[in-house]
Structure 1
Amino acid sequence: MISNKFKELGADFLLLMVAVAWGSTFFVVQAAVNETPVYTFLFWRFFLAGLLMALISFKHLHLINKEVLKAGILLGLFMFLGYAFQTFALTYTYSSTVGFITGLSVIVVPFASYLIFKHKASVFSSLGAIVAAIGLYFLTLNSEIGLSLGELYAFICAMMFALHIVFTGHLSRKHNVYLLVTIQFLTVGVCSLLGGIVLEGSIVPPQMDLLFINAIAITVIFATIFAFWVQTAMQRFTTAAKTAIIFTMEPVSAGIFGYYFANELLSFSQMCGAGMILCGMVIAELGSYFIEQYRRRKSRL
């Protein structure tokens, strides 16, 4: 039991590093997308990541079968639809509103996990999710939530990312992690190719400059291969509900990196929001520790 708890703590720490990796690349991606259409950028990011993962996974390729193909494509579709609806939402409403509604996947995950796989979240995880969601509101305080098409698209985006977390936790326990990650990257790449051709007319970057090359290199290595491999591998040792709470650290780390490296300002309300997100993580983490201690004492009786 102790070793299992150490595995869970280690998994949670590595998932936190994933959130930090996403947050640290946020302003780099934002700068690149200002010059490059979104689906063009997504195609090159995920297609190149898929090719590199295929090379890394070479010795596992003989294990590929119909079931792992279906699982990887399903995860890839959830991931792509999350990015797609997020992009559509940004064309209709404020980025802070989209960020807040997308982050509400932290509330959706425990319910989706229970409804689909009957995985019941602990009281501590549910409480931590609520605290983290309130923190997200303060972190994106300029959000003006209404009933426009933008809010609807952002809500669908949140559902897709929530389903991606829930199904990753389930499927990563049943299939080879390397193959799952490779297939979902290539799925996002193919979908982005279609989206780029249909909506943008091309997937050729308008400017193949240093900004684009650096952004692709950083996101492929850190925000894609490292991040999604770790997520897929580590969710085997922790719960989907805790993963969602940990991922709310992405906007927190984005704010911190933006403050130090992009001269962005953090307001008092944003700092309070970041503090609440940290509190939500601590509640979920300590809660799982107390539950483990209770089970150990109960087993001794």
Structure 2
Amino acid sequence: MKSKLYELRADLLLLSVAIAWGVTFLMVQDAINTTPVYAFLFFRFAIASILMFFIAFKFLNQINKKTIFYGIILGIFLFSAFATQTFGLSYTKSSIVAFITGLNVICVPFLAYFIFKDHIKRNVLIATFIAVIGLYLLTMSGALTIGKGELLTLICAFLFALQIIYTGKFSKEVNVFLLVLFQLITVTVLSLGFSLLLDNVTFNLTYDYAFFKAVLITAIFATVYAFLIQTYMQQFTSATKTAIIFAMEPVSASIFAFLAVGELLTNIQISGAILIVLATIIAEVKFKSLSHIFNR
């Protein structure tokens, strides 16, 4: 019973992460209209790394090679996912990128099974497929073809899936605070390198209100808070349920867009959002309970 309460608390806090990412989506979109993507990522993760350093300060004496190695692995997965997603946006529509990125929800259970032989619960598997249908209805606004952009984004989905799976494994073996710290530092270093290589500017930016607002809010809530909660709470829940819960990100982004700028959803998109919410509920309920409900 106690473990179930821990799992429910973990799932609710992971839901808050999906909401944080969704709420900051518009902010990031506005910021990268005037700031190169990798330069923005560098500043976002650099500030997050500094904040995380002070949070993890009292655990610095526990640093070891294993923690650093695990943090670097997670950081490489995370940055590579951002990079492939960004390149994918150069070749195809953002709605298609959003949908294919969301396919990590179906990659996670199968990769977890093939890599670690993790058992997939029936209700979670059902929830996974419902979430994919919901993502399609919510995000898609064009025909899905297979081109360079789609392939890059599919790689992105696999990388996000790997980041979720290995976060769940690594968080049980080393200090969570240090693991997050080295993950964020890795993304910072890689973002700086890519920015210097590919962006027109890295430091000579327009440091206006929109930039500082986006960088600070995403660094605090969408990075430090989000990855600390994800890493800590994945000790108590499965990677597959985490992926399903994270599918709530576009739902929260759509709700916030409606509240902030009056952006309306179509009936099909609303249906998709409802399916994603339904998927997160089904993932929490045992299959026997579902059978009992439907047989009444």
TM > 0.5 between the two? yes
Which residue of the partner structure matches residue 283 of structure 2? 284
State which drifts further: 223-232 or 111-120: 111-120
Which residue of the partner structure matches residue 11 of structure 1? 10
Q: What TM-score results when the alignment is normalised by the length of structure 2?
A: 0.96
Give the C-alpha shift of residue 231 in structure 1: 0.2
Matched residues in 1 for 2:204 and 2:52: separation?
23
Q: What secondary structure sits across from 1:34 in the alignment?
A: coil
Q: What secondary structure sits across from 1:113 in the alignment?
A: helix
Matched residues in 2 for 1:201 and 1:80: separation?
19
Which residue of the partner structure matches residue 31 of structure 1? 30
Which residue of the partner structure matches residue 255 of structure 1? 254
Indicate if the aligned counterparts of 2:102 and 2:157 stay in contact, CA closer than 8 A.
Answer: yes
Matched residues in 2 for 1:171 and 1:242: separation?
17
One-letter amino acid of the counterpart of residue 241, structure 1:
T
Which residue of the partner structure matches residue 294 of structure 2? none
Q: What TM-score results when the alignment is normalised by the length of structure 1?
A: 0.94
Give the C-alpha shift of residue 175 in structure 1: 0.8
2:235 matches 1:228 = no
Matched residues in 1 for 2:41 and 2:143: separation?
28
Matched residues in 2 for 1:121 and 1:164: separation?
18
One-letter amino acid of the counterpart of residue 94, structure 1:
K
Which residue of the partner structure matches residue 22 of structure 1? 21
Indicate if the aligned counterparts of 2:36 and 2:201 stay in contact, CA closer than 8 A.
Answer: no
Which residue of the partner structure matches residue 180 of structure 1? 179
User: Cα–Cα, structure 1 residues 82 and 276, in superposed 2: closer, same or farther, change >3 Å?
Assistant: same
Which residue of the partner structure matches residue 297 of structure 1? none
User: Cα–Cα, structure 1 residues 182 and 289, in superposed 2: closer, same or farther, change >3 Å?
Assistant: farther
Which residue of the partner structure matches residue 155 of structure 1? 154
Deviations 1:80-136 (A, max 9, x none): 001000000000000000000000000000011111111111011111000000000
One-letter amino acid of the counterpart of residue 59, structure 1:
K
One-letter amino acid of the counterpart of residue 209, structure 1:
D
User: Cα–Cα, structure 1 residues 78 and 143, in superposed 2: closer, same or farther, change >3 Å?
Assistant: farther
Q: 1:188-207 residue pairs with structure 2 within 5 A?
A: 188-204=187-203, 206-207=205-206
For structure 2, which runs of at least 5 residues remain unmatched after alignment? Answer: 291-296
Q: 1:109-188 residue pairs with structure 2 within 5 A?
A: 109-188=108-187
Matched residues in 1 for 2:31 and 2:118: separation?
39
Matched residues in 2 for 1:18 and 1:152: separation?
27
One-letter amino acid of the counterpart of residue 148, structure 1:
G
RMSD: 1.4
User: Cα–Cα, structure 1 residues 268 and 41, in superposed 2: closer, same or farther, change >3 Å?
Assistant: same
Deviations 1:172-215 (A, max 9, x none): 01110000000000000000000000001432152100000000
Give the C-alpha shift of residue 144 in structure 1: 2.2
Q: What secondary structure sits across from 2:201 in the alignment?
A: coil
Off by >4 Å, runs of 4+ in structure 1: 288-291
Which residue of the partner structure matches residue 92 of structure 2? 93
How many percent identity over aligned positions? 49
For structure 1, which runs of at least 5 residues remain unmatched after alignment? Answer: 292-301
Deviations 1:253-296 (A, max 9, x none): 000000010221111111000000011111111127959xxxxx
Matched residues in 1 for 2:142 and 2:28: separation?
22
Indicate if the aligned counterparts of 2:47 and 2:216 stay in contact, CA closer than 8 A.
Answer: no
Which residue of the partner structure matches residue 275 of structure 1? 274
State which drifts further: 217-226 or 282-291: 282-291
2:47 matches 1:43 = no
Indicate if the aligned counterparts of 2:122 and 2:287 stay in contact, CA closer than 8 A.
Answer: no
User: Cα–Cα, structure 1 residues 238 and 91, in superposed 2: closer, same or farther, change >3 Å?
Assistant: same
